[in-house]
Amino acid sequence: MERQAILRLRDGKEFTGTAFGAEGVIAIGEAVFNTGIPGYQEILTDPSYAGQIVMMTSPMIGNYGIAETDSESSGIKAAALIVKKLYRGPVMKGRITLDAFLRENGITGIEGVDTRAITLHLRDHGSQNAVIFPPEKRTEAEALLASFPLITERDLIDGVSVKQAVKDPDLGEGFEKAPKNPRKHFAVVDYGIKRSIISCLYRRGASVTLLPHTAKAEDILALDPDALFLSNGPGDPALLTEAVEMVRALIGKLPIEGICLGHQIITIAIGGRTEKMKFGHHGSNQPVRSALTGRTFVTAQNHGFMTVRDSLPETTSIWFENADDGTVEGLFDETLNVRSVQFHPEAAPGPEEAEAIFDTFMEKAR
């Protein structure tokens, strides 16, 4: 029996569809659209999506099911899922359906809505808070939406970071194992890291000490690592004042590298600024151009904040820029020994042509 569900945006725009996943749940978060075609499992389990309702622009989602080996973290981190059409047929042996995966994780979804119209609305009016609810819970849902804080007011890191240091974490089946004879040692601060990032470091012979987001400069120096690495993660980097101060304290003492949120933290730590984007970059088909070579390649991205180009110090150089809108996609500063990228070179999901960025991270570690 079909269950009706309603999607309501903060500005009052409303869409009615069919619920799937967990029953009777009110889901709330910032609604964003993702332009990827495959990769819904990696997207849902990417901790960078914590606090967000993800809408897939691809018209049918779920046709290859869910494989235990494809999750980027332990369980779904997104707040909810919006699709045009949910695949409800059989899946390969050893997999479960997307509907069952959401049920297992207590996450709701809505299908049968006009995802094109919603995408155009978010593109024109910007990403915004939204709520998905069953009709009988309208009063409760509308009250929750009216009082729910903006993404710029929510510190989401504590819910996705490890609580204590972990040496060479076991990523599980389908990912690389820690090297037996490591070439380098990375201190990795976990703001919501994807397993694929650690896997890429392992593949290049790096050992990893995964640290909680509360790690202090002295904790990191005590490990005597070859580099400090700042992970991806959710939310507004401007709220992470302690992380910024930690990075500032280590500039000049260690090579510092970062991806996505890590890139934004580095931006602020070296004296730059970040700002909220209208609807961000979310998808596995985002073109990026090297400012050094002019080469353009396609990347996976998930961010709603960006580096303000004109705010960067004179010694800082642009490494990459977005080929569509010219926004900063990477920076480096040889004087400060920092480098970072806004996109996800580990992909997962997406094209793998940017993975060589990890080779650079290895080369620049001391």
Q: Kindly list the catalytic residues.
A: 260, 344, 346
Going by their DSSP bridges, the two strands 317-322 and 108-111 should be labelled as unpaired
Helices (H) and strands (E) in the chain, counts: 9, 19
Q: Are 39 and 350 in contact (CB under 8 A)?
A: yes
Question: Vertex 304, ends 254 and 325: CA angle to 5°?
Answer: 95
Rounded Cα–Cα distance for residues 359 and 318 (Å): 18
Q: Are 225 and 264 in contact (CB under 8 A)?
A: no
Tokens at residue 266, please? 């580095």
* CA–CA distances in Å: residue 287 to residues 59, 145, 181: 22, 34, 36
Strands across the sheet with 256-259, in order? 166-167, 206-211, 184-189, 227-230, 256-259, 338-341, 328-333, 317-322, 274-290, 296-307
Tokens at residue 334, please? 């040889």
> Which residues, in sequence order, are bridge partners of residue 288?
297, 322
Q: Are 156 and 50 in contact (CB under 8 A)?
A: yes
